[in-house]
Amino acid sequence: MRLFVSMRKRETPPKVMTKLTAGKDGYQSGREEGEVLDEEGTPCASRTITGARRSPPYTWDDTCPISPLDLISCRKLCLSARDTPKDNVSFAFATRTADTQSEAAAVEERGGRERQDMNEESMEEEGHMDLSEAAAGLVQAALRIAAPRVLLPGDTSEMPDHLSRAKLGNGLVSAHSPPRAAKATKAGILRFQAPNTYRIDNQQRRYVPKRDDMVLGIVEDRGPENYRLNIFASAPGYLPHLAFDGASKRNKPVLRAGSLVYCRVGLACIDVDTELTCTVTQGIKKDWMTGESTFGELKGGTVTRCSLGLCRQLLDKDCRVLQVLQKHGVPFEVAVGRNGAFYVNAKDQGIIVAIVNILLNSEMIQDGSEEQMVKFILKSISNRHRPSALLVPI
């Protein structure tokens, strides 16, 4: 039995979605309410709505006894993509990648079969194409344009042979059916990190503790032996009282509920409580008393929660936003935790707010627009009641 998705003329107006636009004309702050952007609009949305869009009345084949119905098959859709003007094409799956190129490519792919049917001039003859084939065709076309590979839970991916031992990171487990393959357990983009690690990038917010991750924690409670910290994971972490460099029973930091601590995950096991520590294993060891140690309590400033993906971007050594901020010469301090939180501190409250906004926005913004965005935000802060010495001309 052939199956396909039906399209129906929508009675209701199309869904309204809010979006943060950073289009071709540069960064626009704020949120706009509007219709779903079509392929021209280069949407850069924090949320995506795909689905049936408002479809104009389209002509049905005169020879078909069913008329005038709002049903089209996916095959006819692909045909019409070539002929009709772009905004008349209503597609069941509003994909960004469905620009004319990939649609045409997909159509060409099945051109042989379709041209046959077109000649016969009857829809009921051959039957409609299975939607999954058509959808798969478009996906294939998109992939051919060298887009990064998105995996869904259950998808397997072969690891290349030349890697002596591939490490599987976030969201991947080893699959046994094809040898040397990895199975995805999360939905996201498959990424390779030199020298031999594969992982799935997704934008989840809940942290899963891993050893030697640097995290930000908020003290919830103080026990006799350790502090209980909220590290935005499924369970709290525990930081021993003496887990600071140079700390002894008589000389240890006193943290209160609500303090922010930058620490390292010492022990992370799914069955056992997560253990945190503020000691340093490699690098320069500084006593907690000096206030110059890497880990420890963070005073002042503000902590903001974000997605794990943004934290990974910020911790990357080639992070563009931080490079741009460095160029502007704005004085601030930032501590990024792998658990979906970052801390910003500066002498001036306005700068703190600006930096927080800049970092949050950098998640969604297109490459190349960071410069503009940073200038815009810093300018808006400086215009209020501060001298424009904030913006260092570069």
Query: Got the DSSP string for 272-288?
Result: EEEEEEB--SSS----G
* DSSP H or E run through 150: strand 150-151
Does position 315 interact with another protein (CB under 8 A)? The reply is no
The single residue among 80, 157, 202, 294 that binds another protein, judged by CB under 8 A, is: 202
Cα distances (Å, whole numbers) of residue 96 to 59, 205, 219: 25, 25, 44
Does position 150 interact with another protein (CB under 8 A)? The reply is yes
Does position 146 interact with another protein (CB under 8 A)? The reply is no
User: End-to-end CA distance of the chain, in Å?
Assistant: 66
The single residue among 28, 80, 84, 95 that binds another protein, judged by CB under 8 A, is: 95
Does position 44 interact with another protein (CB under 8 A)? The reply is yes
Q: Rounded to an integer, what distance in angstroms lies between the CA atom of residue 5 and that of residue 369?
A: 39
Q: Closest separation between CB of residue 217 and another protein, Å? A: 15
123/354 with CB nearer another protein: 123
The single residue among 103, 201, 213, 245 that binds another protein, judged by CB under 8 A, is: 201
The single residue among 31, 180, 206, 379 that binds another protein, judged by CB under 8 A, is: 206
Q: CA quadruple 85, 87, 89, 94: dihedral positive or negative? A: positive
Does position 218 interact with another protein (CB under 8 A)? The reply is no
Does position 148 interact with another protein (CB under 8 A)? The reply is yes
Does position 2 interact with another protein (CB under 8 A)? The reply is yes
Looking at residue 233, the DSSP 8-state letter turns out to be B
49-76 burial, b at 16+ Cβ within 10 Å, e below that, comes to eeebbebeebebeeeeeeeeeebbbbbb
The single residue among 30, 40, 47, 250 that binds another protein, judged by CB under 8 A, is: 47
The single residue among 92, 261, 352, 358 that binds another protein, judged by CB under 8 A, is: 92
Residues 101-140 that bind another protein (CB under 8 A): 123-124, 127-128, 130-132, 134-136, 138-139
Q: Rounded to an integer, what distance in angstroms lies between the CA atom of residue 321 and that of residue 361?
A: 10
Binding range to another protein, per CB under 8 A, among 228-236, 286-294, 341-349, 373-381:
228-236
Q: Rounded to an integer, what distance in angstroms lies between the CA atom of residue 66 and that of residue 331?
A: 70
Does position 374 interact with another protein (CB under 8 A)? The reply is no
Q: Rounded to an integer, what distance in angstroms lies between the CA atom of residue 276 and that of residue 104?
A: 55
Residues 269-308 that bind another protein (CB under 8 A): 270-271, 308
